[in-house]
Structure 1
Amino acid sequence: MLRSFRKTSTSISFQHQLYIYHSIMLISIKKTSIIIGILSLFQSRHVHSLSTPVVASLVKDYSGTAAGLFNNMRTPAALIGGAIVPLGLLTAPEIDKSKDSKRVQLFKKVNLLLAIASLLSEILAITFSTVAINKLAEVRFPPTTGVDELLSKHFEIAWMGTNVHFLLGMFGFGLLVGSKAFFTYGSKVGKISGCWGVAVFLHCSSIVNQGIALGAGDNSPHFASNLLTLVIRYVTLTMSRVRGRPLSMIAFGVIFYSLFLSIEMVAESFGFFQKEKDN
């Protein structure tokens, strides 16, 4: 009797232990699932709170960045323009018709015109960039996803004009450095410096073409694929917006007239018009 009671009590205590153990396991599983649910909910809210400002920060005012880009072009344009004055204008080689051949005379004339064109090109770059910087400070433009979008929407001609005129003036300045050695120390030194000037001109053109083709990224608007297409697009856009601007129309007319005078000067230097007069 006592043994059977002990067996019964032992079996009951063992079943009671199993029941308690099973209850504890269920409670721990429920607590774990609740904790995991709370953590996942907190994590989703935390990720959402982090992602929202990032998306919102993509669209903002990039006027300060755009003004900095224009200023990056304006400052060196002013420095190059100031260096062109003594290099190509104040110390321009004089023409001696008794000693200089027709080709040397033409070379000196072209050198002077190159200096003038380079200086005026830098002045245009300074004008474009200065006006753009002032407009960026005065006008409040709507937020954009990047500075490239701001430039393409509101300052396309100004940005292209600043780059085109700065680069053309800089290239002209490099060629003036090579021609200066030719007029000062003769043809031997002039040929060496001329080769250096042409080499730098070509290498700079390659660097500029690579930068223009790259743009501001894969998803950004590209203004052109190289320097030549950039110049063509700038001229095309400028001429398309000349209507209604009488000063710009007069400016283009004067430019075309100067091209005619340039062709006439080259023809006279080689004696084409002189033959017609003799006949």
Structure 2
Amino acid sequence: MKFSSYSSSLVLSVACIIFGNAFFPTKVHSFVTKEKISLPLNNKKITTDSNTVNVNKDLTIQHAIPPLGQYAPAAAALFGNMITPASILGGAIIPMSFASGLDFTGDEGESKFAKLLRKVYPFASVASLASFIVSIFWATAVLNQLTENPPAMAASVWDLLQRDYKLQWVAVNSHFVLGMFGFMWLMGTKAYFMGGKQPAIFGLAVSALMFMLSIMNRAVAKGGGSVANRYGSSVIGLLSTYSSLLFRRARECFGPLEFVAVGIGIISSISYAKYVWNQIQS
């Protein structure tokens, strides 16, 4: 009689466990993300806060966080990749513009287009070379920082750049792009006067310039792989991001030299544009 009572209790307990597990899912927590997961014990379906997925019976589910790593060498390689082409193109501007530049005066009765190219040539030479040099300076400064004081670990090289070197990376790319476009303008101008002032020769340089602009627009739009992880949808967006970041840093940590440099650059550009306009109209 006593044994029968114990057997009845045991059967009742097992039945409660089986039916309870079948109809009442158990709430568990992921030890990785602390996210609540609804896990029915029949192991046929797993329901999270966002979606429902079918799994095998013995499958263990875990939301893994991307591991952190030291991406300073990868970031240094990216900045180093910008120094070499900027140095080569900047070095090519010196003999093309300063060692054998164009006659600034020109001939009497020259067309307005020829006057425009001739007058813009010195400004484009200085601006392009200066842009390449500034790009090299930004990259060199960051390389020294990465070597002397390695940054904290990050999820990827893009996350590292966005966290610690966003302004520097935008600046290097912006000045390199500006210098590269100026270099193409100089090459087209020099070929125009060497080829008997044929607009078709200058058109070849413009064609290459437009193709380069298209390539850069696509690269900027792609960015880090999503709309949120990019500096804009085109080169204009890249330059706009650079201007806003530079102004923000100068405002948060007042840099008088930065304000003076930007001010002189803007005033000089406007003044020279007025001079070229007056020369063309005369």
Residue 204 of structure 1: which of 203, 212, 217 is its match? 212
In the alignment, which of 238, 245, 255 is matched to residue 237 of structure 1?
245
Matches within 5 A, 1:154-193: 154-188=164-198, 191-193=199-201
Unaligned runs of 5+ in 1: 1-42, 273-279
| CA distance in 2: counterparts of 1:160 and 1:213, whole angstroms | 13
The aligned amino acid for 2:76 is A
| Counterpart secondary structure, 2:250 | coil
Q: CA deviation at 1:97?
A: 5.3
Cα 1:73–1:110 shift into 2, 3 Å: same
2:76 and 2:150 map into 1 onto residues whose CA distance is 13
CA–CA separation in structure 1 for the residues paired with 2:227 and 2:110: 55
Identical counterparts, % of pairs: 30
Question: Equivalent residue for 2:224?
Answer: 216
| C-alpha distance after superposition, 1:231-269 (max 9, x if no partner) | 011112212222310111111121122023123302321
Is the radius of gyration larger for structure 1 or structure 2?
A: 1
For residue 56 of structure 1, report the CA deviation from its aligned partner.
7.5
Tell me if 1:88 matches 2:92: no
Q: Is the 8 A contact 1:148 1:220 kept in 2?
A: no
Is 1:153 aligned to residue 188 of structure 2?
no
Q: How does 1:81-120 map to 2 (within 5 A)?
A: 81-96=90-105, 99=108, 101=110, 103=112, 104-120=114-130
Which amino acid is 1:194 matched to? F
- Structure 1 pair 179–238 and aligned structure 2 pair: CA distance change class (3 A): same
- Cα drift, residue 102 of structure 1: 6.9
Corresponding residue for 2:234? 226
- Structure 2 portions without partners, runs of 5+: 1-57
Separation in 1 of the partners of 2:228 and 2:270?
40
Change (3 A) 1:133 1:220: farther
Paired residues of 1:212 and 1:224 also in contact (CA < 8 A): yes
Structure having the higher helix fraction is: 1
Provide the residue aligned with 1:24 in structure 2. none
The residue type equivalent to 1:183 in the other structure is F
Q: TM-score, normalised by structure 1?
A: 0.73
Distance in 2, Cα, partners of 1:211 & 1:267: 35
Q: How many residues align?
A: 222
- Rate the CA distance shift 1:68–1:100 in 2: closer, same or farther, 3 A: farther
Q: Deviations over 1:61-84 (max 9, x none)?
A: 100000000011111000000001
Instruction: Note if contact 2:115-2:280 (Cα within 8 Å) is conserved in structure 1.
Output: no
Higher relative contact order (CA 8 A, sep 6+): 1
Residue number in structure 2 paired with 1:8: none
Equivalent residue, structure 2, for 1:266: 276
Q: Could you say if the C-alpha distance between residues 240 and 56 of structure 1 is closer, same or farther in structure 2, counting changes exceeding 3 Å?
A: closer
Render the CA deviation track for 1:187-211: whole Å, top value 9, x for unaligned.
22xx222111111111111111111
Secondary structure of 1:242's counterpart equals helix
Residue 106 of structure 1: CA displacement?
3.7
SS in 1 for 2:69: coil
Inter-partner Cα distance in structure 2 for 1:87 and 1:97: 18
CA–CA separation in structure 2 for the residues paired with 1:207 and 1:102: 33
More strand by share: 2
Deviation of 1:133 (Å): 0.8
Mean CA deviation greater in 123-132 or 192-201: 192-201
Partner amino acid for 2:88?
L
Instruction: Supply the distance in 2 between the matched residues of 1:197 and 1:238 (Cα, whole angstroms).
Output: 31
SS at match of 1:95: coil
CA distance in 2, matches of 1:97, 1:62: 54
Q: Give the aligned partner of residue 62 of structure 1.
A: 71
